[in-house]
Structure 1
């Protein structure tokens, strides 16, 4: 049978910012309990008193990953260089039987210019090519028989080198996304390899995004 505590946990799990605010003791329990009275009453299909909700809030224990654990602090402290690359174009192309062959021509050109920025991601239905805008016309020409779903120029990439053991730390990416969201920064694309994390933003956000990520590191 579902309890008030179960309902509180269900709500907080879907609202990580609220959950973190509780873990940092920067939220008014009484006011939040009143705010949650109606949704929890609907979940339990009976009237629930704010006092019962406030008690459940005070007893709630957030996941350890949300707290500034020693391991998390060590990983964030050891974040590597932050690199910014500007003047990029993002191509979203519908997957087809000819895409890989046409893409190979682009790779041949990239091998001739090793200073270019380039990433390729293949999904189930579509693929993304992010590349320096100097090759925008070249890409469009070599993919002219493909179906473009979106083409966006005026983008910048911010890449962060991660410590070797980052894949064993729960909640690491959350710290980046939380800071960027709080700053009102819209992410155009997110990319990652095992030890590197890259966000793609429109040029108007790049300075603000870089400063936000620096604050996570410091």
Structure 2
């Protein structure tokens, strides 16, 4: 049987900004309880009292990753270089039996020129290539027999070098995504390796995104 506490937990878990506000103790419990009364009453199919909701809010245990743990602070303090690359294009193709063969042609030119930005991701149904826009004609030629389902240019990438052991830190990526979302930065793509994290945004958002990433270091 669902309870008021269950409803509160479900609503907060689906609202990252609400979760953040509660963790920072900047939200008035009484006002929030009144705001949640209608959706909780609908979920329980019966009227509930604001006081009961407020009690559930006070007892709600926030996820540990929302806390400014020593581990998170240490990781952000020890972030490595932040690199920005502009003039990028994004190509998306349906996976096929010949896609890797087409892709191998691009690898030859990329390996010969380290100035070219390049990232390749293969999913279950489609594959994505982010590459310097100077290589657009080469991509179109190499993949001319493939089915292209997406294209976007005027993109920039911000790469962050993370300290070793970052994969063991709970909430690391959450903190990065949260801060970008607070300033309305839309992520076009995300690419990561063990110790390197790259976000791809449209050119008009790169300055705002860079400022957020830079402030992570404190």
In 2: Cα distance, 1:61 partner to 1:182 partner: 23
Q: Normalised by the size of structure 1, how large is the TM-score?
A: 0.97
Task: Give 4+ residue runs of structure 1 displaced > 3 Å after superposition.
Answer: none
In 2: Cα distance, 1:89 partner to 1:83 partner: 17
Aligned length in residues? 218
- Taking the TM superposition and a 5 Å limit, the aligned residue runs for 1:166-185 are 166-185=166-185
In 2: Cα distance, 1:195 partner to 1:88 partner: 22
Are 1:159 and 2:159 an aligned pair? yes
The aligned counterpart of 1:126 is 126
By how many angstroms is 1:216 displaced? 2.1
Are 1:5 and 2:14 an aligned pair? no
- Taking the TM superposition and a 5 Å limit, the aligned residue runs for 1:1-218 are 1-218=1-218
In 2: Cα distance, 1:89 partner to 1:100 partner: 19
In 2: Cα distance, 1:140 partner to 1:61 partner: 52
Q: Deviations over 1:18-37 (max 9, x none)?
A: 01211111001111000101
Q: Normalised by the size of structure 2, how large is the TM-score?
A: 0.97
Q: Deviations over 1:67-114 (max 9, x none)?
A: 101111111111111110111111101111111011101111112212
Show structure 1 runs of 5+ residues with no match. none
By how many angstroms is 1:176 displaced? 1.0
Q: Is the 8 A contact 1:175 1:216 kept in 2?
A: no
Q: Is the 8 A contact 1:158 1:199 kept in 2?
A: yes
